[in-house]
Amino acid sequence: MKRARHGVFTFFWQWLKNPLRTAAVMPSSSELAYAMIAELPEGTRRVIELGGGTGAITRELLAAGIQAKQLLVLELNEELHAHLHARFPGVHVVLGDARSLPELASECGFLDEGPADAIVSGLGLLTMPPVLQREILTAAFDCLRPDGVLVQFTYGPSAPVAESVVKQLVLDVHRGDFVLRNMPPATVYVYSRKPPQGDHRAPD
């Protein structure tokens, strides 16, 4: 419990220092983490997390069976990065900007075994301009297998990624669960690449 309280304080302090770079006032709840993990494709083994914060979702990913060496957590805030690095030995914890994800994931060796099956994101995409959203999502999908998914949560009443960006990147979007037991309440969205037109392969 002491560790959990320390994580909450760390997160809140970083929000006070720079609210524009820290998406929320409080860490994500276990319920929100469960809702995001429920959207991962069956058989998911390799996961990238964008915006690790204090590790609330990281913890649940590991508890759900994702091996530490198969998980990469990216965090832009130096103090939160140090917190994550100390809390999760064995996990690829990387300091950097999500727009540089392919380079960062390659440098730490995560992509040596191939692309990720899924990406979970706690970034505040809803408050970002479309051009920044597009740069982040382009970098994310460059690290995903062709049928991989990006699972994003948002506190807003609408989808976190602008419709113009969804169209430019040719993505499908699926709305997941609304998590009332989170502070503040959040909604999960899932983004994936649309299959190429004319791809009407018969099911196995």
- What is the tens place of the pLDDT at every residue in 148-172? 999 999 988 899 999 999 999 999 9
Q: Looking at the predicted structure, is the pLDDT value of residue 2 above 50?
A: no
- Does 140 fall in a domain? yes
Q: What domain range is 173 assigned to?
A: 28-193
- Does 179 fall in a domain? yes
**Total domains in the fold of the chain:** 1
The answer to which of 32-36, 116-120, 194-198 has the lowest mean pLDDT is 194-198
CA distance 153 to 62: 19
- Does 202 fall in a domain? no
- Does 23 fall in a domain? no
CATH of the domain at 160: 3.40.50.150
- What is the tens place of the pLDDT at every residue in 143-153? 999 999 999 99
Surface-to-core class of residue 115, CB atoms within 10 Å of its CB (0-12 exposed, 13-18 middle, 19+ buried): middle
Percent of the chain with pLDDT over 70: 83
